[in-house]
Amino acid sequence: MAEAKPKPKIKKEAIEMPKQEPKARVKNFNEVALGYDEEQALEEASRCLQCVKPQCVVGCPVEVPIPEFIKCLREKKYAEGIATIKAKNALPAVCGRVCPQEEQCQVKCVMGKIGHPVSIGRLERYLADWEREHGFQLPEKGKPTGKKVAVVGAGPAGLTVAADLVKLGHDVTMFEALHLAGGVLVYGIPEFRLPKKIVQNEVNYIQKLGVDLRLGNLIGRTHTIPELMKNGYDAFFIGSGAGLPQFMDLPGENLGGIYSANEFLIRVNLMKAYNFPDYDTPIRIGKHVVVIGGGNVAMDCARSSMRLGASVCLLYRRSREELPARKEEIENAEEEGLVCKFLAAPLRFIGDEKGWVKAMDCECMELGPPDASGRRRPVPIKGSEFTMETDTVIIAIGQTPNPIIQRTTEGLVVNPKHGTIIVDENGKTSLDGVYAGGDVATGAATVISAMGMGKKAAKSMHEYLQNKK
Ligand SMILES: Cc1cc2nc3c(=O)[nH]c(=O)nc-3n(C[C@H](O)[C@H](O)[C@H](O)COP(=O)(O)OP(=O)(O)OC[C@H]3O[C@@H](n4cnc5c(N)ncnc54)[C@H](O)[C@@H]3O)c2cc1C
Ligand code: SF4
């Protein structure tokens, strides 16, 4: 009898992804993570056990068939691999870059029990980047249904709904307030994490599917939802995000040199203020920037400021363990020179004679019992006040939905405290035929949660449209 061949040993460690060196990258806005080459992708893909009951898929909010696409990659069937992903996820190049896989698919991967989980996101990115270089294939579309759908907002939620419904044969128009589609993917997340051309390519794909994208249309002003209803739209999806910055209501918060994270990032990313005077928008950034907050938004502000030449201190009122930003991004930021001051919060801002911020008074905190969010509540320590000198402050403590649509759509029920649109588990709002999802329904969350809600809403909208006379 022939001897059984020994099984090849599975590598416990994941293949590292090449990155720009910290000293070099902190001086430019080019993408930090460089992506796998073919050899690295094949080696990482070989670590997948092709589980019969893949837990990774359970962890993915849009249920990408992960073992199937990894199998295609292993067999070098790249076009098939990307088509497998795209059947469920219209934005793979984005998700492969910015999704918190370490909390979703990868945290469930069985390989994590014996070593590192399979780097699912990096493999997804590899296939999406391969497709960008080789050209995309359009999937087959359903027969035209004659039903008209309006999607408000071209962020991840709206793009997902638009792609799913147009593939099913509906006539989809997407209204976007800005001059570019992508939502936070273009106006918030900086170029060095997610290059704009990558987002644009995903948007191009969705337009090629047949979605009519109308830029510069602020719903609630240019048109209202009740007006569009009269103009023959059969169903609506509101994916207008959470773009209204929150402030702290502290003395001196209106001084010059104090930005909301939104304004700062829009100036830097969308208006390319870092390229002034080649681009029109200037940005005044000082030598010592303080960023207040601890999420992905705060990290993006801090890392953009360092690239503009400032030294940056992140002020966070809880401890390192509670930092909500992705671990990978915290590590990247610290490698680039970010200094963190934990367990401290601002009390007031102090201005110079011209009305520009020059310092801020702060106090130290300690962690008390958990609050409503389940995280330990920061409690001020008496007599712990201190002053920090600074010439620029960026406030990154959260965003809420802009109320313009809610105010101009009678009968649309919103949460009175958070301003979010109330929806059921299928994204249905209080109005017949009107659905919502993403940050406008949940408050600021993640790309994939917005896409997951978009997918559920699209499914429910399709059923609604099929039954509509
Ligand atoms: C700086 C920053 C970094 C982030 N980093 C990450 C990350 O690394 N990973 C991650 O998963 N998530 C991250 N997030 C969160 C993530 O980007 C959001 O959760 C996600 O984009 C929400 O998608 P959305 O489609 O609901 O809304 P948005 O992306 O906000 O898109 C909404 C769109 O609607 C448009 N719009 C608004 N009002 C109207 C109107 N009245 N009429 C027409 N159009 C309108 C807006 O212009 C926008 O284009 C980050 C967020 C920010 C701000
Ligand atoms: S759980 Fe991990 S090993 Fe199993 S199929 Fe998914 S990626 Fe592969």
User: How far is the C-alpha of 246 from the C-alpha of 243, rounded, in Å?
Assistant: 9
- Residue 110 beta carbon below 6 angstroms from any ligand 2 atom: yes
Indicate whether residue 162 lines ligand 1 (CB < 6 A): no
Mean local confidence (pLDDT), 195-216: 94
Measured in Å, residue 165 CA sits from the centre of ligand 2 at 30
Q: Phi-psi region for residue 383, left (φ > 0), alpha (ψ -120 to 50) or beta? A: left
Q: Is the pLDDT of residue 1 over 60?
A: no
Residue 135, Cβ density class (10 Å: 0-12 exposed, 13-18 middle, ≥19 buried): exposed
| Ligand 1 pocket residue status of 184, Cβ below 6 Å | yes
To test the pocket of ligand 2, the residue of 10, 44, 50, 51 to mutate (highest count of ligand atoms within 8 Å of its CB) is 51
Mean pLDDT of 128-151: 91
Q: Would you state the pLDDT for residue 279?
A: 66
Q: Where is pLDDT greater, at 308 or 240?
A: 240
- d(C-alpha 130, C-alpha 112), whole Å: 27
Share of the chain above pLDDT 70, in %: 96
Q: Which two tokens stand for residue 172?
A: 């989809």
CA 88 to chain CA centroid, nearest Å: 18
Sign of CA pseudo-dihedral 126, 128, 131, 133: negative
Q: Is 162 helix (H, G, I), strand (E, B) or coil?
A: helix
Distance CA 113, CA 395 (A): 39
Ranking 95-109, 111-125, 134-148 by mean pLDDT, the lowest is 134-148
Q: How far apart are CA 363 and CA 368, in angstroms?
A: 15
Rg of the chain in Å (alpha carbons): 23
Q: For residue 31, what pLDDT is reported?
A: 95
Three-class secondary structure of residue 30 per DSSP: coil
Dist. CA 100–CA 327, nearest whole Å: 9
The rounded Å distance from CA 241 to ligand 1 centre is: 5
Q: Which atom of ligand 1 is nearest to the CA of 262?
A: 53
Task: Please say whether the beta carbons of 371 and 377 come within 8 A.
Answer: yes
pLDDT of residue 8: 67
Nearest CA to ligand 1 atom 19: 446
Q: pLDDT (tens digit, 9 = 90+) per residue, 274-290?
A: 666 666 667 788 899 99
**What are the tens digits of pLDDT across the range 48-84?**
999 999 999 999 988 999 999 999 999 999 999 999 9
By residue count, the chain amounts to: 469
pLDDT in tens, 375-434: 889 999 999 999 999 999 999 999 999 999 999 999 999 999 889 999 999 999 999 999
Q: Is the CB of 405 under 6 A from ligand 1?
A: yes
The alpha carbon of 48 and the centre of ligand 2 are apart by a number of angstroms equal to 5
SS3 state of residue 369: strand
Closest-CA residue to 294 (of 238, 337, 338) = 338
Is the CB of residue 286 less than 8 Å from the CB of residue 257? yes
Pairing of strands 244-245, 386-389: unpaired
Residue with tokens 């801090």: 302
Our answer on whether the CB atom of 436 is closer than 6 Å to any ligand 1 atom is no
Instruction: Please report which confidence band the pLDDT of residue 44 belongs to, taking 50, 70 and 90 as the band edges.
Output: very high
Token pair 């005077």 is found at: 277
Sheet strand arrangement including 339-341: 258-260, 392-395, 288-292, 311-315, 339-341
Q: In 3D, which of 311, 292, 235, 298 has the Cα closest to residue 265?
A: 298
- Residue 205 CA, distance from chain mean position: 19
Q: Residue 160: which of 405, 441, 447, 433 has the closest Cα?
A: 447
Among 15, 51, 52, which residue's Cα sits nearest to residue 33? 15
Instruction: Give the 3-state secondary structure of residue 311.
Output: strand
- 40 Cα–ligand 2 center, Å: 17
Helix, strand or coil, per DSSP, at residue 294:
coil
304 lines ligand 1 (CB under 6 A): no
- Please state the separation of Cα 373 from the chain's center in Å: 21
The pTM score is: 0.91
Concatenating the DSSP letter of every residue in 382-417 gives: TT--EEEE-SEEEE-S-EE--THHHHHSTT--B-TT
Question: Which of 15, 49, 69 to probe ligand 2 with, by most ligand atoms within 8 A of CB?
Answer: 49
Calculate the dihedral angle through the C-alpha atoms of 224, 227, 233, 238, rounding to the nearest 10 degrees: 20
State which of 184, 217, 246, 453 you would mutate to test the pocket of ligand 1, scoring each by most atoms of that ligand within 8 A of its C-beta.
184
Helices 66-74, 120-134: axis angle to 10 degrees equals 60
Contact 118 CB / ligand 2 (< 6 Å): yes
pLDDT band at 141 (very low <50, low <70, confident <90, very high): confident
Ligand 2 pocket, residue 64 CB under 6 Å: no
Q: pLDDT digit string (tens) for 367-389? A: 998 888 788 899 999 999 999 99
Can you tell me the mean pLDDT for 181-197? 94
Question: Is 268 buried (19+), middle (13-18) or exposed (0-12) by CB count in 10 A?
Answer: buried
